[in-house]
Copies of this chain bind each other. A is one copy, B any other.
Amino acid sequence: MSTDNLLKQVAFIKEIDKLKYIQRKTKLFNSDRPENDAEHSWHLAMMTIVLAEHSDKPIDVLKVLKMVLIHDIVEIDAGDTFMYDTSKNHTNTEEELLAAKRIFGLLPTEQAEEFIAIWEEFEEGSTDEAKFAKSMDRLEPLLQNTSNNGGTWAEFGVPYQKVYDKKKAIKHGSTSIWNYAENLINDSVEKGILKK
Contacts and interface: CB of A to CB of B under 8 A. Distances in A.
A20 to B, nearest CB: 5
A36 B36 CA distance: 11
A45 B43 CA distance: 12
Interface residues on A, range: 35 or more
A95 interface: no
A117 interface: no
19 contacts: A1-B176, A3-B180, A5-B53, A6-B51, A6-B54, A6-B177, A6-B180, A10-B180, A13-B51, A13-B143, A14-B29, A16-B46, A17-B28, A17-B29, A38-B38, A38-B43, A46-B69, A49-B66, A61-B62
**Majority secondary structure of chain A interface residues (helix, strand, loop or mixed):** helix
Contact of A39 (B14, B36, B50, B54): B36
Q: How many copies does the complex hold?
A: 2
A9 interface: yes
Interface string A136-172: 0000000100010000000000000000000000000
Nearest to A1: B53
A16 B42 CA distance: 11
Interface in A14-46: 14, 16-17, 19-20, 28-29, 35-36, 38-39, 41-43, 45-46
B38 A42 contact: yes
Nearest to A144: B17
Contacts of A65: 45, 62, 65
B69 A12 contact: no
Most buried by B among A10, A54, A176, A180: A10
